[in-house]
């Protein structure tokens, strides 16, 4: 009888497992931006920024000054109709709205208002 219940339990466990959806969005990876004015729209004084997008619709933002991380925070992202929304919960950073474009130099993210957001790192 114990063997029957063990088999039944195993069957229930295997039957309840769902397949994990694979996210192959082209935004996944590391994106970089060198700040030319030393102050970005978030009022954070940095000389370069980095976003690491992962396949779980999350990521990590790094702000660098002279090659050292001076600020980092997590973010979430989603995509709808070709527009990516990047949200920074727990900060006063505004949401970023960007779209992906291909150029001769590589793939870039442009803010919806037309300014460069970041370039994809290889």
Architecture per CATH, 28-120: Beta Barrel (2.40)
Say if residue 67's pLDDT is above 50. Answer: yes
What pLDDT score was predicted for residue 35? 86
What pLDDT score was predicted for residue 39? 46
Q: What is the mean pLDDT of the chain?
A: 86
Sign of CA dihedral 120, 84, 116, 43: negative
| Domain locations in the chain as residue ranges | 28-120
* Contact between residue 32 and residue 47 where contact means Cβ atoms under 8 Å apart: no
Sequence-distant contacts of 116-119: CB under 8 A, at least 24 apart: 116/33, 117/31, 117/33, 118/31, 118/32, 118/33, 118/49, 118/50, 118/51, 119/31, 119/32, 119/33
């Amino acid at each position: 009888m114990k063997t029957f219940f063990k088999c039944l339990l195993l069957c229930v466990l295997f039957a309840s497992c769902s397949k994990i959806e694979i996210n192959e969005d082209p935004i996944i990876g590391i994106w970089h931006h060198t700040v030319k004015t030393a102050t970005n729209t978030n009022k954070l004084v940095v000389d370069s920024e980095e976003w690491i997008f992962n396949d779980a619709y999350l990521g990590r933002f790094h702000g660098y000054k002279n090659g050292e991380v001076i600020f980092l925070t997590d973010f979430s992202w989603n995509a709808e109709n070709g527009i990516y929304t990047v949200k920074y919960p727990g900060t006063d950073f505004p949401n970023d709205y960007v779209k992906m474009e291909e150029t001769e130099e590589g793939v870039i993210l442009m803010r919806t208002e037309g300014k460069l957001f970041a370039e994809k790192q290889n």
